[in-house]
């Protein structure tokens, strides 16, 4: 049984795609579930297929498939693991459709990284067959941004192309590299318009870092606030923009408390936070100040992390389109390899606002 399935795998069956379930294999080949299960285990032992928990069996890409490195430089903290998972999941999902090898640990980028060190690591990766790198830059500090610059320069000097995902390098306004990102301008605008539509009148925005994603959200927020003065549902005088920067030099709890204090000081009744954990942290601080969510204030987050749905007040959030971003990033990478001298481009990916209890109408 295992030999028969192996022969079909060798011939290209299920190349990059999901295989049938154990019951599906049993039905397709006219054998018992036990026999089918044993055959799949033999194939796993041979390294021909892999099992993804709660997803099923997938064929492992052949040795000739393209090899890519993915470097996700996410902010340390409570959300790091969950954010890594959703970003990683997008690439893994695409890899199940399009046979490829992905390495998430090919590079170690630290704040002390030099261009020479990055070039040496990139040359080693290229020698191992890696054709390009997808980088989610750090947003933590100027030192980490300098490391990102050194990393990209080292990769380019070694002949490895780099496509940025989600945001540009911290502090850089011009797009010097290919970038695939959420349509942050449209996303922030939609979040604010949703809060206005639920009866809110003074809506603020929380950001944290001078990155392209946060800057674009400020632009979308200001656009929505500007247009609100001409709408039917916002009373006069015109709304005043309130952009709150969450401190990055304080412990997490104190940073959330600082944001909540600003929300109270500006008498906001709606706020869009740059990330779900920030939104949940602000909600907790507001509740401790006897400010009710959503009755007194509506709160929106970003990324649709598991905590958004699991929190006691389910959080309205803007979804992270991980699969679409990975898919477009891969296409952009292949186009860059075919046209190495073309100007860098930015591609924005639309997504969806997921409405939950934290913004129930007033």
What local confidence, expressed as pLDDT, does residue 235 receive? 55
Q: How much is the pTM?
A: 0.84
CA distance 59 to 47: 9
pLDDT the model gives residue 81 = 85
Neighbours of 111 (CB within 10 A): 15
pLDDT of 237:
72
What the block records as the tokens of 284 is 């907790």
**pLDDT for residue 307:** 95
Nearest to 51 by CA among 112, 96, 11, 111: 96
2-59 shares its CATH topology with 66-182+322-349: no
Provide block-wise average pLDDT over 10 residues at a time, the chain (362 residues): 77 65 85 86 78 68 86 86 89 83 92 96 96 96 95 96 96 86 97 95 95 96 90 68 94 96 97 97 98 97 96 97 96 96 94 97 80
Domain 184-320+352-359 maps to which CATH number in 3.40.1360.10, 3.90.650.10, 3.30.720.200, 3.40.50.2300?
Answer: 3.40.50.2300
Residues 66-182+322-349, CATH architecture:
3-Layer(aba) Sandwich (3.40)
Q: Which CATH architecture best describes the domain 2-59?
A: Orthogonal Bundle (1.10)
What 8-state DSSP symbol labels residue 129? T
Residue ranges of the domains in the chain? Answer: 2-59, 66-182+322-349, 184-320+352-359
Cβ–Cβ < 8 Å for 335, 344: no
């Amino acid at each position: 049984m295992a030999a028969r399935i192996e022969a079909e795998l060798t011939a290209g069956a299920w190349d990059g795609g999901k295989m049938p379930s154990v019951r599906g294999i049993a039905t397709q080949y006219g054998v018992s579930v036990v026999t089918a299960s044993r055959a799949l285990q033999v194939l796993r032992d041979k390294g021909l297929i892999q099992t993804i928990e709660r997803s099923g069996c997938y064929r492992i890409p052949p040795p000739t498939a393209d090899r890519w490195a993915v470097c996700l430089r996410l902010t340390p903290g409570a959300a790091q693991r969950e954010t890594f998972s959703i970003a990683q999941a997008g690439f893994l999902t695409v890899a199940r459709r399009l046979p490829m090898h992905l390495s998430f640990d090919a590079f170690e980028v630290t704040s002390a990284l030099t261009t020479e060190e990055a070039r040496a690591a990139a040359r080693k990766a290229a020698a191992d067959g890696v054709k390009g790198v997808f980088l989610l830059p750090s947003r933590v500090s100027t030192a980490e941004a300098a490391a990102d610059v050194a990393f990209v320069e080292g990769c380019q000097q070694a002949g490895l192309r780099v496509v940025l995902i989600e945001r540009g390098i911290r502090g850089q306004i011009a797009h010097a590299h290919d970038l695939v990102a959420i349509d942050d301008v449209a996303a922030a605008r939609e979040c604010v318009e949703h809060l206005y539509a639920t009866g809110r009148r003074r809506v603020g925005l929380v950001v944290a870092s001078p990155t392209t994603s946060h800057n674009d959200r400020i632009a979308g927020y200001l656009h929505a606030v500007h247009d609100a003065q001409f709408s039917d549902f916002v009373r006069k005088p015109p709304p005043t923009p309130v952009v709150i920067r969450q401190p990055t030099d304080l412990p997490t709890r104190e940073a959330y408390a600082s944001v909540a204090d600003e929300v109270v000081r500006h008498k906001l009744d709606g706020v869009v936070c740059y990330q779900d954990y920030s939104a949940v942290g602000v909600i907790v601080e507001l509740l401790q100040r006897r400010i009710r969510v959503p009755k007194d204030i509506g709160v929106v987050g970003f990324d649709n992390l598991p905590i958004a749905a699991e929190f006691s007040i389910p959080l309205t959030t803007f979804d992270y389109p991980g699969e679409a971003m990975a898919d477009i990033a891969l296409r952009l990478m292949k186009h860059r390899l075919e046209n190495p001298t073309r100007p860098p481009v930015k591609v924005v990916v639309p997504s969806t606002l997921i409405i939950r209890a934290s913004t129930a109408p007033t």
